[in-house]
């Protein structure tokens, strides 16, 4: 009967000591500066507080993070997305413009305020169309006092990998989505970077074990990554701890992260190269003189030579992330409540440009940010129609198992990212396997404890099947993380538990969110078209260009463009974007 005082107080003391979390405040003044990270070309880049590379955000699990953003860019709006964070209860802090907020106009300020309840390796970047590759992207690290691998390494080192363009994004983007580029050939980067530089030295002490947190913060190119004569032991992907697995080489797509343990040699007799090598399969053209590789060194002794990276013959030793097992051994979510099939393709619309489609719909941002449509339409918020045709909306009920079947009807590789969740990757085909077939016994032999992550590659003309639980009310994009394809519309909008979202957030959106909308004359109530009287009337909504007339093919556009271009535009444009037949490169 008598509960002793100590057994009563002990849990409270524990609670107090665990709950001693910090509030971290970052003041970010976002402005243009200049940098020349590849040593070939000095160009404008988007910096923070006059600094580029931009600072890392480093928190501990449980911390509250405040990021005060001032937009001093003068000529562009901005926003920040915290890639991989669930933003549970704070979907309005997720960052994508026209989805959960309005763009922060030049001269305006905006505060992100959220609590981080998950450990791991993340990054943050602009979520304004096409903006982050101009430099507004950096690491976001969440330390974990209970990291299960804590005793197994001595130090941790962050390494970012990235592609790099010399031209600025607004100019590249207008050339990319254009009648002058009907095949949708993506601009090819000029260089690869590690930590926004090249020839990086990483100081290594013999015998120590390092945890490298590797992040691909690039726009387009995936990178093969390897450390010569050192094995990587994978312990985390995209914020999910894994059963340790050894790898000689990783394939890291744009937006993916890996933490690996690397044990140093016991002697300092030489230094070792490590390499990031951009996957050239993604490039429609391979310009003369492009070096797809970036080299750095594990430096044991800085008086000794830094040997050139050894050339390798193939990338066959790349690790297959599909074989990873989550450390928590969470079982497959077996009873699917809602299954969404997405057939993706690339095609032309009648403006002659090339677009990307899910189920024949290319994403176009709505007039009213989707979250504000949810918050202002009461019971109609559960009706997908009100969110507009071109946002490609799917409404999810709360606490269900949701499945996404994605069939890639395109010869390209695409890394897909879901906001607000990590998903189980329950199937991922080889290339050319075609659409997922639920009646094929081989394809539905799912793993019992599938890997979870937030960004996954679908192979050329192959498929992936993902599952997650709708336990996070919010407005979440699911999209290709190649910035070119995001801009050409490869996105859907998930409206998760809209009525719960209304009860969580109605009246709670901070004033500065409304202020940036007002400054930009963006409507904040009603359906996607801003209609408040009859929310089922979408008249005036933003739409994509129309379809090509039947029988008028991409090839027809190529022919048309050749004749138009030679008449009006001149050969310079052709040279720059590499006009070529409509088929993308296949292997
Ligand atoms: C890195 O070293 C290579 C080889 O010496 C050189 O070509 C390249 O310009 C260097 N990169 C930078 C940013 O200095
Ligand atoms: C804004 O200015 C920067 C720096 O001069 C430039 O690189 C960028 O392209 C400009 N943006 C637009 C939309 O013109
Ligand atoms: C951040 O959000 C918390 C919880 O909603 C609130 O108490 C706090 O005042 C906010 N801080 C800032 C700086 O907005
Ligand atoms: C690479 O950059 C990150 C920040 O982006 C920094 O924390 C880390 O120390 C750098 N690594 C090296 C080896 O300089
Ligand atoms: C370094 O030396 C220790 C102690 O002799 C040994 O256990 C370990 O395996 C060695 N490490 C390597 C990478 O050779
Ligand atoms: C880049 O590295 C790969 C793999 O080692 C090699 O095949 C290729 O020749 C390298 N390219 C250049 C320009 O060094
Ligand atoms: C079932 O799927 C496997 C793996 O994708 C494939 O190799 C096989 O041809 C398929 N079988 C049938 C009958 O379609
Ligand atoms: C969000 O919070 C709710 C309530 O605390 C919890 O049940 C749910 O699992 C969380 N979702 C995620 C994605 O962490
Ligand atoms: C939904 O909107 C329509 C048209 O604006 C309205 O007539 C209807 O009452 C609304 N339904 C609910 C459940 O709010
Ligand atoms: Cu893509």
Q: What is the pLDDT of residues 386-403, one digit of tens each?
A: 999 999 999 999 999 999
Top mutation candidate among 429, 430, 432, 440 for ligand 7, by most atoms within 8 Å of CB: 440
What is the reported pLDDT for 4?
39
Query: Is residue 199 situated within a structural domain?
Result: yes
If asked whether residues 162 and 252 sit together in one domain, one would say yes
Q: What's the average model confidence in pLDDT over 534-555?
A: 86
In 288-330, where do the E strands start and end?
293-299
If asked whether residues 177 and 309 sit together in one domain, one would say yes
Note residues around ion ligand 10 (Cβ under 5 angstroms): 414, 480, 482, 485
Closest atom of ligand 2 to 169 CA is: 9
If asked whether residues 82 and 231 sit together in one domain, one would say no
If asked whether residues 57 and 172 sit together in one domain, one would say no
Closest atom of ligand 7 to 443 CA is: 2
User: Per-residue confidence at 549, pLDDT binned at 50, 70, 90?
Assistant: confident
CA of residue 28 to ligand 3 center, whole Å: 17
Query: Is residue 578 situated within a structural domain?
Result: no
State the residue range of the domain holding 407: 338-519
Select from 4, 576, 578 the least CA-distant residue to 284. 578
Select from 55, 50, 59, 5 the least CA-distant residue to 29. 50
Strands 155-164 and 191-194: antiparallel
CATH number, domain of 278, equals: 2.60.40.420
**Looking at the chain, how many residues does it have?**
587
Which residues have C-beta atoms less than 6 Å from ligand 6? 277, 291-293, 311-312
- State whether the beta carbon of 443 lies less than 6 angstroms from ligand 7: yes
Query: Is residue 524 situated within a structural domain?
Result: no
Last residue of a domain, one of 463, 490, 519: 519
Query: Is residue 94 situated within a structural domain?
Result: yes
What is the reported pLDDT for 21?
77
Q: What's the average model confidence in pLDDT over 513-541?
A: 98
Buried b (16+ CB within 10 A) or exposed e, 31-61: bbeebebbeeeebebbbbbeebbbeebebeb
Last residue of a domain, one of 306, 326, 346: 326
Closest atom of ligand 7 to 441 CA is: 1
Ligand whose nearest atom lies closest to the CA of 474:
8
What strand order describes the sheet that includes 109-115? Answer: 43-48, 23-35, 64-71, 109-115
Give the separation between CA 309 and CA 221, rounded to whole angstroms.
20
Number of domains in the chain: 3
Give the separation between CA 119 and CA 145, rounded to whole angstroms.
9
Cα–Cα separations (whole angstroms), residue 525 to 368, 371, 528: 7, 10, 9
Last residue of a domain, one of 102, 118, 144: 144
User: Per-residue confidence at 562, pLDDT binned at 50, 70, 90?
Assistant: low
Per the DSSP assignment, residues forming a β-bridge with 493 are 393, 477
If asked whether residues 196 and 308 sit together in one domain, one would say yes
If asked whether residues 318 and 208 sit together in one domain, one would say yes
If asked whether residues 169 and 140 sit together in one domain, one would say no
CA of residue 221 to ligand 9 center, whole Å: 46
Give the separation between CA 61 and CA 144, rounded to whole angstroms.
6
Helix (H, G, I), strand (E, B) or coil at 444: coil
CA of residue 279 to ligand 10 center, whole Å: 14
Give the separation between CA 342 and CA 409, rounded to whole angstroms.
10
Q: Would the pLDDT of 510 be above 80?
A: yes
User: What is the pTM (predicted TM-score) of this model?
Assistant: 0.92
Q: What are phi and psi of 246, to 5 degrees?
A: -85, 145
Neighbours of 383 (CB within 10 A): 16
If asked whether residues 94 and 157 sit together in one domain, one would say no
Give the separation between CA 110 and CA 549, rounded to whole angstroms.
44
Query: Is residue 557 situated within a structural domain?
Result: no
| Tens-place pLDDT, residues 415-434 | 999 999 999 999 999 999 99
Select from 32, 37, 34 the least CA-distant residue to 191. 37
Q: Would the pLDDT of 498 be above 60?
A: yes
Neighbours of 144 (CB within 10 A): 16
- State whether the beta carbon of 442 lies less than 6 angstroms from ligand 7: yes
């Amino acid at each position: 009967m008598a509960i002793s005082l100590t057994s009563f107080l002990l849990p409270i003391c524990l609670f107090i000591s665990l709950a001693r979390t910090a509030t971290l405040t970052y003041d970010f003044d976002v402005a243009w500066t200049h940098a020349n990270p590849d040593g070939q070309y000095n160009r404008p880049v988007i910096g923070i507080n006059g600094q580029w590379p931009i600072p890392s955000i480093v928190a501990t699990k449980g911390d509250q993070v405040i990021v005060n953003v001032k937009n001093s860019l003068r000529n562009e709006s901005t926003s920040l997305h915290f890639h991989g964070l669930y933003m549970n209860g704070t979907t309005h802090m997720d960052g994508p413009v026209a989805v959960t907020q309005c763009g922060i106009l030049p001269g305006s300020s905006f505060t992100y305020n959220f609590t981080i309840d998950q450990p791991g390796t993340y990054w943050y970047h602009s979520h304004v169309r096409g903006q982050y590759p101009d430099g507004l992207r950096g690491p976001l690290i969440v330390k974990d006092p209970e990291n299960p691998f804590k005793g197994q390494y001595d130090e941790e080192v962050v390494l970012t990998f990235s592609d790099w363009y010399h031209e600025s994004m607004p100019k590249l983007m207008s050339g990319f989505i254009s009648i002058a580029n009907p095949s949708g050939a993506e601009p090819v980067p000029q260089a690869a970077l590690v930590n926004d530089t090249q020839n990086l030295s990483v100081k290594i002490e013999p015998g120590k074990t390092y945890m490298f947190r590797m992040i691909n913060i690039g726009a387009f190119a995936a990178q093969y990554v390897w450390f010569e004569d050192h094995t990587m032991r994978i312990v985390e992907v995209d914020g999910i701890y894994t059963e340790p697995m050894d790898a000689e080489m990783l394939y890291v797509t744009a937006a993916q992260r890996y933490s690996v343990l690397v044990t140093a040699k016991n002697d300092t007799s030489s230094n070792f190269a490590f390499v990031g090598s951009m996957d050239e399969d993604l490039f429609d053209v391979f310009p003369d003189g492009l070096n797809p590789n970036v080299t750095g060194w594990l430096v044991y002794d800085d008086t000794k030579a830094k040997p050139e990276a050894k050339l390798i013959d193939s990338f066959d030793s790349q690790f297959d992330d599909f074989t990873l097992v989550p450390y928590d051994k969470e079982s497959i979510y077996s009873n699917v409540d809602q299954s969404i099939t997405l057939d993706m393709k690339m095609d032309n619309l009648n403006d002659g440009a090339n677009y990307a489609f899910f189920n024949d719909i290319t994403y176009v941002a709505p007039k009213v940010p989707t979250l504000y449509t949810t918050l202002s339409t009461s019971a109609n918020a559960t009706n997908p129609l009100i969110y507009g045709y071109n946002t490609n909306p799917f409404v999810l009920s709360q606490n269900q198992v949701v499945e996404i079947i994605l069939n890639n009807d395109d010869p390209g590789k695409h890394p897909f990212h879901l906001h607000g969740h990590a998903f189980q990757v329950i199937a991922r085909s080889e290339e050319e396997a075609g659409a997922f077939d639920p009646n094929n016994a081989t394809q539905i032999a799912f793993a019992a404890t599938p890997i979870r992550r937030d960004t996954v590659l679908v192979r050329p003309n192959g498929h992936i099947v993902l599952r997650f639980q709708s336990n996070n009310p919010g407005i979440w994009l699911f999209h290709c993380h190649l910035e070119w394809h995001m801009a050409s519309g490869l996105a859907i909008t998930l409206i998760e538990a809209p009525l719960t979202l209304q009860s969580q957030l109605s009246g709670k959106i901070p004033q500065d969110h409304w202020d940036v909308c007002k400054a930009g004359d963006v409507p904040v109530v009603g359906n996607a078209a801003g209609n408040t009287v009859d929310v089922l009337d979408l008249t005036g909504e933003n739409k994509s260009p129309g379809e090509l007339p039947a029988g008028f093919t991409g090839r027809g556009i190529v022919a048309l463009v050749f004749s138009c271009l030679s008449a009006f535009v001149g050969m310079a444009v052709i040279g720059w974007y590499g006009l070529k037949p409509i088929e993308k490169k296949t292997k």
